[in-house]
Every structure is written in structure tokens, then in C-alpha cells.
Structure 1
Amino acid sequence: MDFAYDARTEELRERLLAFMDEHVYPAEQIAEEQRAAQDSPWATVPVQEELKATARKLGLWNLFFVDQHSFVDQHSFVDQHSFVDQHSSVDQHGLSGEEYGAGLTNLQYAPLAEITGRSPQLAPTALNCAAPDTGNMELLAQFGSSEQRERWLRPLLAGEIRSAFAMTEPDVASSDATNIGTRIRRDGDSYVITGRKWYISGAMHPDCSVFIVMGKTDPDGEDVRRQQSMVLVPRDTPGVEVRRAMSVYGYEDHYHGGHAEVVFHEVRVPVTNLVGEEGGGFAIAQARLGPGRIHHCMRLIGMAERAIELMCRRALDRTAFGKPLARQGVVHEWIADARVQVEQLRLLVLKTAWLMDTVGNRGAHTEIQAIKIATPRAVVRIIDDAVQLHGAGGVSQDFPLAHLWASARTLRLADGPDEVHQRSLARRELKRYSG
């Protein structure tokens, strides 16, 4: 692996860093003021639309859409117990990075995503690189029919609509996707969906136009990983109830459309809204979550860098017990440990991105799980130390640290809790020595 960024990446990094300095950071306070002044806290604030327009002009749009044609393995990672057949009848069209985005590799995109993580509320959305839309666009490009891509993918790529991915449920342990209880029943030329979901990211946004819903089409099927399917449900379909916004450590994440509880009351959609094939939902979910995990880890490193910067500035600015905080031994430890951890994590994330590009997502299975375990844990600690250094200010709305901490801590649960990844990774490691 070559650790140097190539010329394309360097050029985009310079452009993106300038965009952050000139437009994004100055917009953070403006966005807060505009949100407080408008009627709906979920609607996009004017400055966010200005950022999106500027990003498009600068060619910083849809950078996340990596060029899958350069990958060895077109399937995302699954664990060793997967039923997925490399010749599955699930309709896979393949992704064209140049058609849908900048045509980057994961290794090229990684340092760009890191930069956006320094302002997670504004930057990813400004570049049309925010979850859950990124994963939904990748899913539609890879598994959607031509009609589905035309109706939903193209406006998502243009930033004209938003979307949500409805998988997690309050009544079961959703860390085990085979527990999903939402029922998707075939009735003639329609599917009828009944179930309750929660923490459905983006669902509160007024521009959220479609849900990708995971449920069981064959609840009594012998293979528990062939029971699930995914269907597209337009938000305005009768029976869709967006019941309430769910808070995350007291935050409602207005910038990304919140996290909602959504109930599907006998919701009827045409069978053409099926994504892929019946029974393919589990495999599609794995394909969607794999790239999403590395995107989160890339942005987390940027969040850690922002925390280190704030920590250093605060240490140099404040005096306690007769000397600057920057001369206190414990502060030295916090800053030094943070720098070491970030450098370690960045190398592991870059290695993972490189493996995804060269041997495919399945070949990078161990590394994907390793970064998902290690990165949120370390970044939470770094941000927590920065909060501690800021005292009361660290938990206030005057600094971004409290929100950064809540976001990082949540990612120890999102896309699979730490323990699920530890379980799978340990099994793979043990298998090497089991004879």
C-alpha cells in the first residue's frame, strides 16, 4: 500500500479544505440562528442550500459514490455463515462512479470524508454525502431496477429529495437482523407492510420522499436469512405514520432530518417496489451497511481532529493554578494520546479502504469490523478529554464538543453494536486455528 495521496486526491483535498474554511465553518453559527428562527426545525436552513450550490459549482458533489468497476468483489462483506451465492439471482447492475459521482476509489474518498467529519452537521449534507442517503443511493444503484433508479436515485443524486432506511425495530434486538418482525405480505399485485420501526434517520425531514423498508416476506422460511425482503415505500402512501422524533442523548439531529419512530399500518405498494428479489433483504442489508461503516469511521477521524484542535487552543488560552493549561501534565497526556490514537486509526482506515478497492469488501471483512470497533471507542475518549478541558463550556452549546461526543458515542451502536462485530471478528480469528 502506498501511503501517499495521489494527485487527484490532493487536488480535491485542497479544494475541500478551502471550501470548509471559506464557507462551512463560517456557516455553523448562521445555521443555528436560522434554524431557531424558522417554523419547522426539520426543514433545511437557507445557508445549507447555499453551501450545496457552492459545493456543486466547485465539483465537490457526490464524492462518496466510489467506482465499483475497479473492485475485485462487487458484493459487500458478509460473515462466514452467509448464505449469499456469488451468482445470486439478485439483480445487480454494478455501479459506475463516473456516471453517479466523482468516480473515486475508497482510498481516494477516505481523506475527503475525514475533512467533512470536522463539521458533521453541515459538510456531509453540503456535498450530498450524508447518511442515510449515501447508503440508499448505493443500494438503488446496485440492486434497484431501471425504473426504481430513474424515479428515486436520480433525484437523490441531484439533492432534490431525501430518503430513509427503515430497518431497526423497538420490539426486537435489531442487532440480529433475523429478528426483524415487520411483515411484508404478498397480496395479488401488491405488498402489504405492517410493522413499527424506530431511529429511522432522515424520516422527519420534509423532503424525505421514500423509505426503503426491510421486513419478512417468508417468516416461516427454513433459512432465517432468506426470510427478509426490501420494498420501496413512498412517504405519502396511505398508512405511513411518522409518529415522533427520537432524541439521541438529548439531541434531535435537525440537520440530517432527525431519527423517527415510523409505523406502517397495512401499507400497500405495488410488487414492482420490491428491491432485488424476495428473500434477498438480508444480503442487500449487508451490502448497504459495509461501505456505510467505513464512511462513518472516516468522518469520526475528522471529528477527533476537530476536538484536538479545540483542545490545543483552549489549553493555550486558559490559565489555572498559576500556569497555562498547556503546561499541566495531564493535558500533555490527553493531547499526546489523542494524536497517537488518531494516527493509528487513520492508517487502519486507509488500509481498509485500500483492501476494499483491491480485494473487495469481503476480503476486507476483518479490517471493516476492526475499524468499526476501534474508531468510535477512541474518538469518544478523545472528545471526552476535550470536553473535560473546556469545563462547563465543553457541555454547552457554545462549542461543538457535546454534539460531537453524542454523535461518536451513538456510532458504537449504529450499523451494528461493538459486541456484534467483536463476535464475528473473533470467530474468524479462531477459525484460523481450529484445524
Structure 2
Amino acid sequence: MTQRGIATDLIHHPFRAPEGWDAVPVPVMKASTVLFSSTAELHAPRPRDGISYRYGLPGTPTTYTLAARIATLEHAEHCVLTPSGVSAVTLTSMALLQPGDEVLLPDNVYGQNRYVTTGLLSRLGITHRFYDPLDATAFAALLGERTRLVWLEAAGSITLEFPDLVGLLRACRARGVLTAIDDTWGGGIAFNPFEVAPALAPGLGADIAMHALTKFPSGGADLLMGAVCTRDAALNRRLVEMHEFLGYGLGQNDVEMVLRGLPSISLRYRAQDAATRVLARWMADRPEVARVLHPALADSPGHAYWRQVSPDAAGCLFSVVFKPAYDQRRVDAFVDALRCFGIGYSWAGPMSLVVPYDLSRSRSLGLPWTPEEGGSLVRFAIGLEEVEDLRADIEQALGALAG
């Protein structure tokens, strides 16, 4: 045999890991080109809704391993992975809607979902309306002949109203309207999106669960990824087809990071949940505060609906509405004075985060408080620091409100 060059020998090296080798970590398999064993395999029909090793874009064994585990986390049968939470939103709406259709969104919907809907979807001839997630009766009256999709969000990511999921889902099911729930806050831990209240309404759930894996599944604040899950094979085929049209691909090192974060998701969720409740209850008694928005607090909007669906889990977010006497300048000074909280978006990473919000231009149906009741809002995302250190930091920063 003619001696080959070193580059050729390295690329076509004969060594393969022996069969039966296994380990705790999932092997990271990277590829753009995927090799076929023969032209017959190359020309064979490819599956449109399952594993397809034909090119790196749909996925490698590493990708499909993560998809299977996310499907398990979400109590689903199928899962399609995307490069971010926003891309998961876009994939869902693009797969299920066409020109002339209407989509309904809760007024407290994730800002990027609102932006995709009012921007991209509107350009494509898809109309939209916003609804009050706490009023299922008024919502049912909005469902029209052209309504094809309803987005649900539990809880709202800034003002944290918990929707009447049972009432909303019942109305959609009665009209045969598809539902997609943003389950990022719940993390796959708080409740089953495909059967939201089994004791109250057995079998009632969403058709699709969207999840920003950037948050709890990752846990490291170091990557972007999303997922769209379903139990319906026909819906999954539509999602896979749109996924191919959009050309969504994932970096396998990011896939590896989520696979590494998943085993600790329940521990992290419970720890952050417990710390968040401590701080939310403490802040509710502060004289500077008009109200605290957190589903586990009895006076928070949608508390009764939260108890129906998720009484043992409440996430890592709470928002504080300061009394009207404290203007935005003072509230910003409070945020700047915090030392254990990073100023930044997202949540569920190791570091606690804080963001002041102006919601005046991102709501169509008003806010859950009046200007006389409260003013500026600040959202806290609680990380993994010691809760007493976080409380001491907030207390010292509250001094800036009087400055």
C-alpha cells in the first residue's frame, strides 16, 4: 500500500472506541458533514419527524440526546431544539400560522414574543390581539373564526401574574384552537404543561410547550438555547419542517453544557425558589414598597390560579413596585447601589440579577396597579448566593431611595 501523508492518516485514522464503552458524560459529537456508508444510504428517504443523521444542521447524537432529555423534562413525546428562546418562539408561530390567521397573546407576554408578533408576523399578514390572562370569560369572547394559536405564559416574566390556565385552556379546547405555553418560568419543574391541573381538570393541557433552555436547564448564564416540545406527532412534523426551513443549528459545546446542567436542575430550582420566597415576603413588609409581585404571595395577581397549578413551586423571580414618592431617578440609584446583584436580563444563573422596568409602552390593557398605588417596578432574579447576604445588600441599597 502506498504510504499516505500524515494529514491523511490523521483524518482517516482506523481507531474507534470499542463497542460497549460508556460513561456518565454524553460524548460530544461535532459535525457539519455526515458520512454515509453507501450511496444506497445516501439516497434512502429521510425521516421528517425523527432522528436524521444526514447533515450537522438537524443534529448529531449529542443533539438528539439532549432533545430526548428535554422532552422528558417537559412530559412530552417530541422535542425540537433551537439556538435561543426567541428562536423557539419564532419557530412555533411560523410553523402553526399562515397569512390571514390570528394569534392571541397575554398582555404580559415575554417582550420578544410581542416583538416577533407585532413585527415579523404582522408583515406576513398574521393578525394579533392581546388578552387579560386573569379573565377567562373575556378571553373566550375574543376567540374568533381566524384564531389559530393562543400563547400562554405562566407566570408573566415581569409582573408575574399567574394566568387562569384551566379557564383559558378549556376555552381553547372548546373552540379547537391550538395553544402554546412558555414554560421557561416553570422550568419543567413547577407543573406539567400538558396536564396543568390533573386533580381539577384531568387531561387538560397545552398542545406545545416552549422553553428557553438559556435559563434553568443551563443554569450557568453562559449560553443561549431553546426548545419546543409536544406530544402530538403531526404537530412535531410541522415544527421539524419549519426548523429545516429556518436553518436552525446548535453548537455541540453548548449542547454539552445544557446536558451537564440538567442533572442539578431540580436542586437549583428548589434552592432558588426557597430563597426567592424569603426575600419576597421580607420586601412586602418594607415601608418603601407599595407591593411585591410573586405568585406565592396571597395578594399577588393570579395567586388563586397558581395554587391550582403549582402550589409547591414558584420560580426565582419577584418584582417590587415602589411607592409613588420614589421617582425613577431614586429607584435607579437603589439598583446602582446593589452589590450582590448584577444589572442584567435573564434569570436562573448562579448570580442574582436586577432590572428596573418601564412598562408604559409594552402593555395594551394596563398594569395590575394604579399610579396612585405604586410607581416604578424592579424585577429581581435570585441566584445561588446566601439569602442573608442578599437581604443585607438590598437593605443597604434601600438607603439610596432617600438620597
Indicate the TM-score class for this superposition, using the shorter chain for normalisation: under 0.3
Q: Please, what TM-score do these two structures have when normalized by structure 2?
A: 0.26
Structure number with larger C-alpha Rg:
2
Structure with the larger helix share: 1
Q: Please, what TM-score do these two structures have when normalized by structure 1?
A: 0.24
